[in-house]
Structure 1
């Protein structure tokens, strides 16, 4: 009789639907965020993601949050702040894997990465009613790289893209990391490409194909794109802030570009050179808190902000700027605070 009871219990456990397990609490994330899978149109594979959707009778905004270089969709810390914001604001939230850590050929800005993120939007739209005029993308470091890439490769998707401390040129970053304390990133790039980018024309082309600079430069249009980078990154962080400055140049018309000499001078001194002061739009911005803008330049639908900080994101600035953007309206470069989120410093520096 006892054996029969145990057998019944085991059968009952085995019959619990998989979906109930998928709804288990995700470590580091607020209650309600769940882990699931969706089909990528890149190779018809099932890809993992975290997702949260609000209960609403009306279409809701969607935030597509992209994990950092050495992490995957389960990354918490600074990434979990996006989910907290969405729960406060009533937005839908999705945090796709897009092939995980950038150390294998399917990852690091590949065509499959683009397909996975595009398909994540479609999946979110199948889960709840999404306001197509308010779909946003955000990421820092490796997520900044992917955000810039998606802005150029899928511009019609987004009402706004907020990219922080992103890598815009894979080959340049490999060279900047090689033989330094950040050499591990150069090794990861080599493991993706099969060699260093400068070994062969094939490797150079592959690195360029995965670089946002390539796609931004030839995009016919871009969504509202807010590029942000800490002025100490590259010394106190792994990605020189010049990556965002070059991305800005690729996005704007020739007359709005910053000269290479001025970019180099700014990187060497970590201050605004005399030649850039007449065009510097930086002013106190309460959304940046202690990370005050040091240099700012706006042209068309693209803005560059070099702020007082390192390799990090200021969530308050990123998310409030996104909240002010909507398709069919002019870009809002001066948003008011629509929502507030408190983030500890350790979670700001989530980009690795």
Structure 2
């Protein structure tokens, strides 16, 4: 009897500790955001995430927010702004790890990372009722890389994907970073692949497998995809804005693609040439605030915006655009301001 009572007592204590841990406040996140673990269908492993779900009798939208290149699911700063938006808007929020910092073979757009994000959506559905017509993906920098990747690899999941300052070509970014102040990113890519992408055909193929350009170009369909990049990135930031312009070219018909020489000229001069100006649809956009669009082009369900800024995200523009999208409806490229939502400049995730 004593042994049985002891076992029962230990079990109760363990359950209490588990409950306290589950309810513990996540540093720098709004109250109620918690850590959890779910099973990935990639390899059956238990993967960590942050999650928040509202109390609602109706299905709610879901925001899948993706951390940056050198961080993991516990990243705060600009990431916490996604959770704040979800609490204000009544959305569910999930912030998966997808194998963490991009320095191991399991990370950096691997098949396992893709499976982790897909399984994170399933986990959110098990936690609350999700409106499957309003599941969104968002990320900046490394999160922009993976957002573009997920748009092409799992297009049926998303009502909209908002990708900011993302890397679209791993091998190209490796060359752009090697020997510069951003050399650490080249080293991380080599740690993932087992060597430099240009060292062998196998390594080049491995880098291409993890590159959004590869998957976007061969996708049968894409969800509404909003590509954004600051015109100073690549100088005041680690990812040249040409990555988003080339992603746009991969997503649209060849007849609508931007001229490669014009892209390079824009990068070198940061001035819109006469040729690009003829197709430039950039106008004043209040949602971009102090980062107005400089060059904008929309073709079908894909839009490219090169804005006045660097390696950063304009949360208000990204989140209001996503909020205006739903499966079964035409893409809304001119959303209004749905809620009052302000993000301080230090939380725009510059340089991560």
Instruction: Please report the TM-score for the alignment, with normalisation by the length of structure 1.
Output: 0.96
Aligned position for 1:295: 295
Match of 1:306 in 2: 306
Per the TM alignment, residue 254 of structure 1 is displaced from its structure 2 partner at its CA by: 1.1
Match of 1:124 in 2: 124
1:19 is displaced (CA, Å) by 3.4
Structure 2 equivalent of residue 20 of structure 1: 20
Question: What per-residue deviation string (whole Å, max 9, x for no partner) do you get for residues 134-169 of structure 1?
Answer: 000000000000000000000000000000000000
Give the direction of change, closer, same or farther, for the CA distance of 1:227–1:103 in structure 2 (3 Å limit).
Answer: same
After the TM superposition, which residues 271-350 of structure 1 pair with which residues of structure 2 at under 5 Å, given as runs? 271-350=271-350
Q: Is the 8 A contact 1:315 1:343 kept in 2?
A: yes
> What is aligned with 1:139?
139
Q: Deviations over 1:84-137 (max 9, x none)?
A: 000000000000000000000000000001100000000000000000000000
Give the secondary-structure state (helix, strand or coil) at the position aligned to 1:16. helix
Match of 1:80 in 2: 80
Distance 1:114-1:15 versus aligned 2 partners, 3 A rule: closer
Q: Hey, what does 2:177 align to over in structure 1?
A: 177
Q: Is the 8 A contact 1:231 1:241 kept in 2?
A: yes
Following superposition, which runs of at least 4 residues in structure 1 exceed 3 angstroms of deviation?
Answer: 9-15
Q: CA deviation at 1:63?
A: 0.2
Contact 2:155 2:223 in 1 (8 A): yes
Indicate conservation of the 8 Å contact 1:68/1:350, yes or no: no
- C-alpha displacement at 1:350, in angstroms? 4.5
Question: 1:4 maps to which residue?
Answer: none
SS in 2 for 1:198: helix
TM-aligned CA distance change 1:134 to 1:11, over 3 Å: closer
* Residues in 1 aligned to 2:179 and 2:146: alpha-carbon distance in whole angstroms: 25
Contact kept? 1:164, 1:312, Cα under 8 Å: yes
SS in 2 for 1:221: coil
Q: CA deviation at 1:12?
A: 6.7
**Aligned residues between the structures:** 345
Say if 2:237 and 2:351, in contact at 8 Å, map to a contact too: no
Deviation at 1:23, TM superposition (A): 1.5
The answer to whether the 8 Å contact 2:62/2:131 transfers is: yes
Map of 1:159 onto structure 2: 159
- How far off is 1:311 after superposition? 0.1
Check whether the contact 2:142–2:166 (CA below 8 A) recurs between aligned residues. yes
CA distance in 1 between counterparts of 2:47 and 2:275 reads: 48
- d(CA) in 2 for partners of 1:204 and 1:120? 29
Q: Is the Cα–Cα contact under 8 Å of residues 69 and 351 in structure 1 kept in the other structure?
A: no
Q: Deviations over 1:71-94 (max 9, x none)?
A: 000000000000000000000000
CA–CA distance in 2 between the matches of 1:121 and 1:12? 31
1:220 aligns with 2:220: yes
- Segments of 5+ residues of structure 1 without an aligned counterpart are 1-8
Whether the 8 Å CA contact 1:140–1:351 is kept in 2: the answer is no
Deviations 1:222-278 (A, max 9, x none): 000000000000000000000000000000001111011000000000111111111
The alpha-carbon deviation at position 13 of structure 1 amounts to 4.6
Kindly indicate whether the alpha-carbon contact (under 8 Å) linking 1:231 and 1:307 is maintained by their aligned counterparts in 2: yes
Structure 2 gap ranges (5+): 1-8
Equivalent residue, structure 2, for 1:186? 186
Q: What is the SS of the residue equivalent to 2:120?
A: helix
Contact 2:212 2:247 in 1 (8 A): yes
State the SS of the aligned residue for 1:261: helix
With the length of structure 2 as denominator, give the TM-score of the two structures. Answer: 0.96
Distance 1:57 1:165, change over 3 A: same
User: CA separation in 2, counterparts of 1:299 and 1:310?
Assistant: 24
- Mapped to 2, the partners of 1:92 and 1:259 lie a distance apart of 40
* Secondary structure of the corresponding residue to residue 84 of structure 1: helix
User: Equivalent residue for 2:234?
Assistant: 234
Task: Look up the SS of the partner of 1:56 in the other structure.
Answer: coil
The alignment partner of 2:199 has SS state of coil
The whole-number CA distance in structure 2 between the counterparts of 1:347 and 1:114 is: 26
The Cα RMSD (Å) is 1.4
Provide the rounded CA distance (Å) in 1 between the counterparts of 2:278 and 2:14. 69
Contact in 2 for aligned 1:316/1:340 (Cα 8 Å):
no
Q: Is the 8 A contact 2:230 2:307 kept in 1?
A: yes
